[in-house]
Structure 1
Amino acid sequence: METPPDGIDLAQLIQWIKGATGDTDSDIARRIGAAPSTVNAWVHRLRGTGRGPKRETLRALAHAYNLPEDRVFAAAGRKTPGPLTPDQEAELLRYFRDLTEEQQQAKLVEMRALAQHNRASD
């Protein structure tokens, strides 16, 4: 599959996928492990109670259609999360465990705020 055009939103990306593959909303949903209503909401630019598609769902969409993750995340108005190897995850956990309870709480607040900022679609 070719690469989708730059600067398109998620609704346009889904339409592009459908045009390139002949897949329906239900086909796309099945391939990425989402509900058809979720994909339909993306197509119609409807917002639910959440903050947009989950990171795992966007990665599944990229993987299912062999698309660059950065294009899929950009279409959803999200920044592409950095890679995290198992060694890095273990290292982060080791550092976290060395913090005081108050420091752990402060880091959690900071990480939540950063993650929420990255999920913001505006």
Structure 2
Amino acid sequence: MTSDQHTPGTSNAEAPAAAGEDLAALLERLLSQAEGKTQKDLATESGVTYQTLNAWMNRTRGTSRIDSDRLRAMVEVFRKWGVQTTPREFFNAVGRPAPGPSDAEREARLLKLYRQLPEDRQRLLVEDAEIMNRILSAS
């Protein structure tokens, strides 16, 4: 898929990663669109060590367990550089379902409910959320 082709009914910014595109291929494609930017620049600006990013690019380190915040950080760096991409592309590239959109109102409501719980229930809620996240990451 070229940069000016896209899936019908989507904008280029929403276009899915190329079929079968893994993280290394996605990063290579996006870096080629970021004029003058390097792997080292991406690593520095997204908070990933260069060694880790390079291992992902060379497919010598697994990518299925990359922290969601790291994936989102790379998306934001590319966007800052003027490269169109989405979190969904990154999650697809590492073989995980993309988390749903988060809105401030929903997060505020969840935080309000959490703060109303007794401390022991707060701990249980956090444990439940961690378990749900591990289950989703494993599927």
TM over 0.5: yes
Aligned counterpart in structure 1 of residue 41 of structure 2, from 13, 27, 31: 27
Query: How many pairs align?
Result: 120
Quote the residue 1:45 is aligned against. Answer: 59
| Structure 1: runs of 5+ lacking an equivalent | none
Matching of residues 86-97 of structure 1 within 5 Å: 86-97=104-115
Quote the residue 1:75 is aligned against. Answer: 93
User: Identity across aligned pairs (percent)?
Assistant: 29
Give, as a single letter, the amino acid of the residue that structure 2 aligns with 1:105. Answer: R
Distance (Å, rounded) in 1 between the aligned partners of 2:95 and 2:64: 11
The 8 Å contact of residues 34 and 57 in structure 1, kept in 2 or not, is answered as yes
Quote the residue 1:8 is aligned against. Answer: 21
TM-score (normalised: structure 2): 0.67
Deviation at 1:118, TM superposition (A): 3.1
Deviation at 1:70, TM superposition (A): 0.6
TM-score (normalised: structure 1): 0.74
Q: Deviations along 1:58-115, whole A, 9 cap, x unmatched?
A: 1122231321221111102222222222222221122123334443333222100112
Quote the residue 2:8 is aligned against. Answer: none
The 8 Å contact of residues 71 and 90 in structure 2, kept in 1 or not, is answered as yes
Distance (Å, rounded) in 2 between the aligned partners of 1:60 and 1:66: 14
Distance (Å, rounded) in 2 between the aligned partners of 1:62 and 1:105: 31
Distance (Å, rounded) in 2 between the aligned partners of 1:24 and 1:96: 42
1:60 equivalent to 2:73? Answer yes
Displaced runs of 4+ in structure 1, greater than 6 A? none
Residues 1:33 and 1:108: Cα distance change in structure 2 (over 3 Å): closer
CA RMSD, Structure 1 to Structure 2 (Å): 2.8
Instruction: Judge which range, 55-64 or 94-103, deviates more.
Output: 94-103
Distance (Å, rounded) in 1 between the aligned partners of 2:51 and 2:135: 26
